[in-house]
Amino acid sequence: MASIVIEDVQTSYWKEYGGNEADRNDSTTAMGYFKSLVDGVNWEEFRGGYDPTYLDQNIKSIAFYHNMIAIKKESNREGSHPQK
């Protein structure tokens, strides 16, 4: 298991650092990129023949904090937990 911390992600919102003030989900910024990975944490719940990526299968959790993102890199293959 490994934990990764990305700091100073506030620059994702600052134009002078290549951020995108108009589109906070712009995947070319750090915040936009990591937000695009959030659904992958629950990839085993997707229906319809989804082919998980390496990151889907190996990111156990993503946590967002003020100006920081924490990622837990660990196997993410628990199996689905369907409602009964």
pLDDT one-digit tens code per residue, 59-78:
999 999 999 999 999 999 98
Task: With respect to residue 81, please indicate whether it lies within any of the assigned structural domains.
Answer: no
Confidence grade of residue 23 (pLDDT, cut at 50, 70, 90): very high
- CA-nearest of 58, 76, 78 to 4 is 58
Task: With respect to residue 83, please indicate whether it lies within any of the assigned structural domains.
Answer: no
Task: With respect to residue 78, please indicate whether it lies within any of the assigned structural domains.
Answer: no
Q: What is the pTM of this model?
A: 0.84
Task: With respect to residue 84, please indicate whether it lies within any of the assigned structural domains.
Answer: no
For the chain, what is the domain count?
1
Cα–Cα distance, 82 to 75 (Å, whole number): 20
Is residue 25 within 8 A of residue 13, CB to CB? The reply is no
Q: Which domain holds residue 56?
A: 2-73
